[in-house]
Chain A
């Protein structure tokens, strides 16, 4: 069946900001879809509010709407674009929910738009838990016994029948939000009521516990000819009870007989057909009882999912790409398998390697959050790796995590760990559970004991036991000879792990030297979908160690074009996300176009960079020094390496720069010495001094006494942080000696190599972010962003506006001059990000980073200049002038001098507070500070700041209110600044409620308001306090700034947590309040419309005289 001819124009809905449970896997899938649809000659319109995505690059769609993904905005896009069809199955739960809402509002019918991929009935059959259970029963499958409940009474009744524990699963939430297991009546009450509140349809499923059963997933595809294939099976090492996104998972399934597997396949296919996903991919989860093989179906996603991205990368079968083709009418047998180039996509990939995915958590960012793993997803990213056996893949995945532990034995055991305490710890899911398994076995536990405690299949436990035994052999061997070292490498041990066991080898470098001397190097195999049955055309490689010294490596020689290696950014985590992947992908695109052979190295399966289509070659490898060095070696063997790019993938590759350079690897762009110069405070201070630029006064200390001396000299408040960090990790504002002492005590790794930096904190300053290019001679300002929150909030968590909305011409000139001085002083060749604070008309340099920043994609989209592409070219020797001449950069001018009528773009951060709870079930504090906590961002773009800001708020957490009651409680220092915005809100018809001190000031200024007691003031009689009023849903917005200049910024925690719990806007700065007022005004005037990025950029280019 060929392509449908009745579809000419498809609207693709993206997934919006990166949040826990919905990460850049949907950029990967959406980008593939857009690419495919355009190749097929269709017009593609796209809605996605996330500027850091590749899919929102203007060349991937005909009309790209960077607008909030809400039914209202998407309807506006539909009205304007009039597409024939909507593809919502590649944009995660956000897109699917939006499609359902559009259907329910009659929008699809009104504009005669067809949902392709899965229709409304199929979506509802897949997502509605009761309908789904009925379907499974119809086809003869089993699901856990359960009941759908709409009230707490129904919940209690059900549990009376099923008994505790039970699983609670709210309907229509993503990433398992609000779901979990209740063991006690108290937990049941708390979790079920939260689940009912989180579900948009006030519905939870109460279900028989299958805790401890083996957990599996199948990725399936179906075409409109009813052909079905299973792309991949995935086994979760953590048994049922831990969300699959938080589990260590393995592909293919390792512990199923063919009978069990085929039964699962049969049921999966029957379910897919009965649910009626017409075309495209779906994901089905199963649980199998380990003692009797009873299999139950857990759930299905009638769409492409995070696991689909994993399965695509694990097998080489591009699920999203094929799903898009199937959606427009092709059948599987009509689509060619890209990898072989000859065989069709109507087959099931078979693997001759093992894939392991390990989740990455960020609990350190949310003090107090419960770290137990449950059915609510808590991880923020993941790394995947491939090896020729399980232990090799596991070792590679563990060292890909960018955590302190980089595989077994690389960190000391916890103090006082005993066999008993370790086995006890294994009973619940936790980050690093496999480390705990290893420790238990090392302390003498049997495979059976570990299996009993953890529920992990004995086969996996035994595999880890094999490593424990190997460890003993390595420890006991008289000399580490060739056979033993080869076995160690074949089992997946890194040089660093071996070094930890054999101190006499002088560390990792010594092990590597020995290994190379013994001729032990990895070979590079190919991901080919077919276990080598057919020749592969796509160079998608992974490393493996074989026993045979003459084992075959499959990297083809390529000597015509110089090669450039691009080091990616590893697993997503807070502070290092999709923005860096964006820059890496852009570099690959630009350099491919410039006749380089591009080679990508990365280990994050969610990304576009690890799509085999992105670069000429892909190495799916950990970004450790050892692994990167072997990739470089492999590429040098097969051709000429012109250079390695380390400055686009964030801190991960940047941290390797010096060692790689020392090993003789050519680093292009800003040299490692210059990178050091910017990161070393002393040296950087000299650069500033030489250029006559002021920075906040600072000092470095290695003890409390030293820190206090500095603080006394420069005066509190001070900003303290460890050196060499990204995302503001461990950064705090300290107001007094005792907090400082406390900080130093907690910062466990203070040493002369790792001093603490103590900076003067500039209260009430305006923070400015600048992205710039420098070719060594000339600079090009990409954009100047003005933060809406004052300095002190991490730049990744602040909202910001571009062009800057309140900066004067002299300020901008000053910014340009300073940026140029820094770029040249440091010796930047490529991208540079500088953060400034403007206080009392004085511009202070806060920090400079000679690398791609988080804001590069935002700036590129807002200014229509591909900064990362230009940076990649500059790193390989192009000059800014040349790039201006060829049209990659505008012929004149730059982002530092945008026309006054240019559209305003606002970036807003998206924060994950509502996903975390304390072990007691309380929310965690949502206050922003110098440590970054956001997972993603959105962009709002429109003709004025107010409109753009309103869009950014709608896109990030729901719309700003246009009527209702606003709660205001601000710190004394903010009371004066608060008057105008709050008065404006009152004039706009909002009712104001305030705490006593705030209310007094407001009334004195003629603003009517009612008063509520603070949360710690005991309610008297029928008077409720602020927290209850918010929790009762009587407030539409909260304005609450932290109290006091002299105390720690922790007051108001209860109020902010209540706002997060109710999912209402919570403004924590006075500047944010002023911005919100402008946004609300724009909303009330109803003048917010949608406009494609292509039109916005064309207008901007016309204004700046650019030709491209």
Chain B
């Protein structure tokens, strides 16, 4: 057994054993309450820079299934689990989670009391942390200092780190009905896949793309992807969004994209205490009262409350969705321009498919434009 320690910036230390790669890693420690889909979680670019604590205790049971990656690599900074599987078991599994983490150099820790850690984060908020495994385990003061020297998530601009360097195209399944320019703030594989199922050809474009780059694609719609970091740092994406709104190009944003649209409309954002990370989060659509169980992964949110009407340079807008757990803004809808966004993940992966019809709404918006 190789020793490992999870060290938090407030000085708490949880000792366990190494899992995955040995060494050290730093990041913001957050917890995810999903019981399935660890592979999708690990490869979700929105987790970039974060050390993820899995609240589900038995992790790795179905091994690594290559079709289930949500991006080209594991993005989490570190992984904290209680009981990793000794062997993987699934007819599609190619290798074990432990092997994959090791191959990709992801430092993890196992055997810790993940519930205590989760309760601590819930009460104290997400904070900086480090996992130190093997020889990296040193005296507590040194480790805590290393954590305190690491950058904070508030004010972090991480889009560049996860965005594609060059535009790539995901063709539509069957006949192409629409072209969508998707701004890659940390997009997951399943998003273009679900758009493709609806006849959309997706041009996934670097975060630094200009309006001209976008227009060059002659898009029927623009998509703002999910992604990591503080939305306040995204001046470029926000300005780009405003230009798209001015041109009345149908626009759909998810997660980080919801925050970008909100800021483009003049709303503020804030860092939540511990965020929403799980696949069981209820969202209510204000107009119908219907509940969707959604997949979520965000540590920042829009300021505002349900039913709030906004008077923006692009006409009226409203808060269209909210989370009944805590009242968080979960969606926006512009009344006068064809734009809407949600704070959650209609592409799921991992998570329930309740929100998939949002892609159909995007199609309708493009149809009507």
- Contact flags (1/0) for A328-353 with B, using CB distance below 8 Å? 00011100000000111011111111
Min CB–CB distance B76 → chain A (angstroms): 16
Neighbouring B residues of A546 by C-beta, 8 Å: 113, 116
Q: Which residue of A lies closest to B93 (CB)?
A: A257
Min CB–CB distance A506 → chain B (angstroms): 30
The reply on B170 being an interface residue by CB < 8 A is: no
Q: Please, how many angstroms separate the alpha-carbon atoms of A462 and B57 in the complex?
A: 16
Docked-complex contact A343 and B90, CB < 8 angstroms: no
Q: List 13 A-B contacts (CB under 8 A).
A: A258-B40, A262-B353, A290-B91, A343-B324, A347-B281, A350-B56, A352-B56, A389-B83, A458-B87, A525-B115, A531-B56, A548-B113, A551-B113
Q: Please, how many angstroms separate the alpha-carbon atoms of A635 and B57 in the complex?
A: 26
Q: Please, how many angstroms separate the alpha-carbon atoms of A255 and B65 in the complex?
A: 13
Q: Please, how many angstroms separate the alpha-carbon atoms of A535 and B31 in the complex?
A: 15
Docked-complex contact A348 and B118, CB < 8 angstroms: no
Q: Which residue of A lies closest to B350 (CB)?
A: A258
Q: Please, how many angstroms separate the alpha-carbon atoms of A610 and B279 in the complex?
A: 28
Neighbouring A residues of B350 by C-beta, 8 Å: 258, 262
Min CB–CB distance A439 → chain B (angstroms): 20
The reply on B290 being an interface residue by CB < 8 A is: yes
- Which 7 A-B pairs rank lowest in CB-CB distance, beginning with the nearest? A258-B37, A531-B55, A459-B89, A258-B350, A348-B280, A258-B36, A552-B116
Docked-complex contact A532 and B119, CB < 8 angstroms: yes
Docked-complex contact A350 and B61, CB < 8 angstroms: no
The reply on A371 being an interface residue by CB < 8 A is: no
Q: Which residue of A lies closest to B118 (CB)?
A: A532
Docked-complex contact B116 and A447, CB < 8 angstroms: no
Neighbouring A residues of B280 by C-beta, 8 Å: 347-350, 530
Q: Which of A194-202, A221-229, A1018-1026 binds B?
A: A221-229
Docked-complex contact A262 and B351, CB < 8 angstroms: yes
Which chain A residues in 801-860 approach chain B with CB under 8 Å?
Answer: none
Min CB–CB distance A272 → chain B (angstroms): 13
The reply on A111 being an interface residue by CB < 8 A is: no
Q: Out of B15, B57, B86, B279, which one reaches A353, CB within 8 Å?
A: B57
The reply on A378 being an interface residue by CB < 8 A is: no
Q: Which residue of B lies closest to A233 (CB)?
A: B35
Neighbouring B residues of A465 by C-beta, 8 Å: 86
Once A and B bind, how many residue pairs between them come within 8 Å at the CB atom?
178
Q: Out of B90, B111, B113, B324, which one reaches A552, CB within 8 Å?
A: B113
Neighbouring B residues of A332 by C-beta, 8 Å: 291
Q: Which residue of A lies closest to B37 (CB)?
A: A258
Neighbouring B residues of A347 by C-beta, 8 Å: 280-282, 293, 325
- Contact flags (1/0) for B102-119 with A, using CB distance below 8 Å? 000000000111111011
Min CB–CB distance B228 → chain A (angstroms): 21
List 10 other contacts, CB 8 Å, given A257-B62, A258-B34, A530-B33.
Answer: A258-B351, A265-B353, A293-B91, A333-B282, A343-B325, A352-B33, A465-B86, A466-B86, A533-B278, A551-B116
Min CB–CB distance B97 → chain A (angstroms): 12
Neighbouring A residues of B40 by C-beta, 8 Å: 258
A352 touching B55 in the complex, CB below 8 Å, given contacts A262-B351, A333-B282:
yes
Q: Out of B39, B61, B326, which one reaches A254, CB within 8 Å?
A: B61
Q: Please, how many angstroms separate the alpha-carbon atoms of A472 and B55 in the complex?
A: 31
A354 touching B289 in the complex, CB below 8 Å, given contacts A333-B282, A462-B87, A552-B113:
no
Docked-complex contact A257 and B90, CB < 8 angstroms: yes
Neighbouring B residues of A458 by C-beta, 8 Å: 87, 89
Which chain A residues in 256-274 approach chain B with CB under 8 Å?
Answer: 256-259, 261-262, 265-266
Which chain A residues in 238-291 approach chain B with CB under 8 Å?
Answer: 252-259, 261-262, 265-266, 290-291
- Contact flags (1/0) for A1088-1101 with B, using CB distance below 8 Å? 00000000000000
User: Which residues of A come within 8 Å of B, CB atoms?
Assistant: 1, 225-227, 229-230, 252-259, 261-262, 265-266, 290-293, 331-333, 342-344, 346-354, 388-390, 447, 457-459, 462-463, 465-466, 523, 525, 530-535, 546-548, 551-552
Q: Please, how many angstroms separate the alpha-carbon atoms of A348 and B36 in the complex?
A: 13
Docked-complex contact B14 and A261, CB < 8 angstroms: no
Docked-complex contact B293 and A547, CB < 8 angstroms: no
Docked-complex contact B291 and A531, CB < 8 angstroms: no
Docked-complex contact B37 and A291, CB < 8 angstroms: no
Q: Out of A227, A292, A348, A530, which one reaches B290, CB within 8 Å?
A: A227
Neighbouring A residues of B293 by C-beta, 8 Å: 229-230, 346-348
Docked-complex contact B33 and A256, CB < 8 angstroms: no
The reply on B127 being an interface residue by CB < 8 A is: no
Docked-complex contact A262 and B352, CB < 8 angstroms: yes
Neighbouring A residues of B36 by C-beta, 8 Å: 253, 256-258, 261-262
The reply on B349 being an interface residue by CB < 8 A is: yes
Docked-complex contact B290 and A252, CB < 8 angstroms: no
Q: Out of B15, B58, B65, B284, which one reaches A354, CB within 8 Å?
A: B58
Min CB–CB distance B55 → chain A (angstroms): 4
Q: Please, how many angstroms separate the alpha-carbon atoms of A459 and B350 in the complex?
A: 21
Q: Out of B35, B86, B114, which one reaches A351, CB within 8 Å?
A: B35
Neighbouring B residues of A350 by C-beta, 8 Å: 33-35, 55-56, 278, 280
A547 touching B112 in the complex, CB below 8 Å, given contacts A333-B284, A346-B282, A349-B280:
yes
The reply on B122 being an interface residue by CB < 8 A is: yes
The reply on B363 being an interface residue by CB < 8 A is: no
Docked-complex contact A344 and B92, CB < 8 angstroms: no
A354 touching B57 in the complex, CB below 8 Å, given contacts A293-B91, A532-B118:
yes
Neighbouring A residues of B55 by C-beta, 8 Å: 350, 352, 531-533
Q: Which residue of A lies closest to B16 (CB)?
A: A547
A256 touching B62 in the complex, CB below 8 Å, given contacts A262-B348, A350-B55, A547-B16:
yes
Min CB–CB distance A552 → chain B (angstroms): 4
Min CB–CB distance B280 → chain A (angstroms): 4
Q: Please, how many angstroms separate the alpha-carbon atoms of A825 and B20 in the complex?
A: 68
Min CB–CB distance B346 → chain A (angstroms): 13
Q: Out of A262, A351, A532, A548, which one reaches B15, CB within 8 Å?
A: A548
Q: Which residue of A lies closest to B116 (CB)?
A: A552
Docked-complex contact A462 and B86, CB < 8 angstroms: yes
Docked-complex contact A258 and B111, CB < 8 angstroms: no
Docked-complex contact A257 and B92, CB < 8 angstroms: yes
A266 touching B353 in the complex, CB below 8 Å, given contacts A258-B37, A353-B57:
yes
Docked-complex contact B58 and A352, CB < 8 angstroms: no
Neighbouring A residues of B352 by C-beta, 8 Å: 230, 262, 265, 348
Q: Please, how many angstroms separate the alpha-carbon atoms of A301 and B280 in the complex?
A: 24
The reply on B358 being an interface residue by CB < 8 A is: no
The reply on B85 being an interface residue by CB < 8 A is: yes
Docked-complex contact B90 and A388, CB < 8 angstroms: no
Min CB–CB distance B15 → chain A (angstroms): 7
Chain A CB count within 10 A is highest, among B14, B86, B325, for B325
Min CB–CB distance A261 → chain B (angstroms): 5
Q: Out of B65, B67, B324, which one reaches A333, CB within 8 Å?
A: B324
Q: Please, how many angstroms separate the alpha-carbon atoms of A349 and B282 in the complex?
A: 11
Neighbouring A residues of B282 by C-beta, 8 Å: 333, 344, 346-347
The reply on B82 being an interface residue by CB < 8 A is: yes
Min CB–CB distance A230 → chain B (angstroms): 8
Q: Please, how many angstroms separate the alpha-carbon atoms of A332 and B351 in the complex?
A: 20
Q: Please, how many angstroms separate the alpha-carbon atoms of A530 and B14 in the complex?
A: 22
The reply on B305 being an interface residue by CB < 8 A is: no
The reply on B68 being an interface residue by CB < 8 A is: yes
Docked-complex contact B87 and A226, CB < 8 angstroms: no
Q: Please, how many angstroms separate the alpha-carbon atoms of A1065 and B34 in the complex?
A: 54
Min CB–CB distance B266 → chain A (angstroms): 30
Q: Please, how many angstroms separate the alpha-carbon atoms of A261 and B62 in the complex?
A: 12
Docked-complex contact A346 and B62, CB < 8 angstroms: no
Q: Which residue of A lies closest to B280 (CB)?
A: A348
Q: Which residue of A lies closest to B38 (CB)?
A: A258
Q: Out of A333, A466, A548, which one reaches B289, CB within 8 Å?
A: A333
Q: Please, how many angstroms separate the alpha-carbon atoms of A349 and B324 in the complex?
A: 15
Q: Out of A348, A457, A525, A533, which one reaches B89, CB within 8 Å?
A: A457
Neighbouring B residues of A225 by C-beta, 8 Å: 289-291
Q: Which residue of B lies closest to A552 (CB)?
A: B116
Which chain B residues in 175-208 approach chain A with CB under 8 Å?
Answer: none
Neighbouring A residues of B14 by C-beta, 8 Å: 548
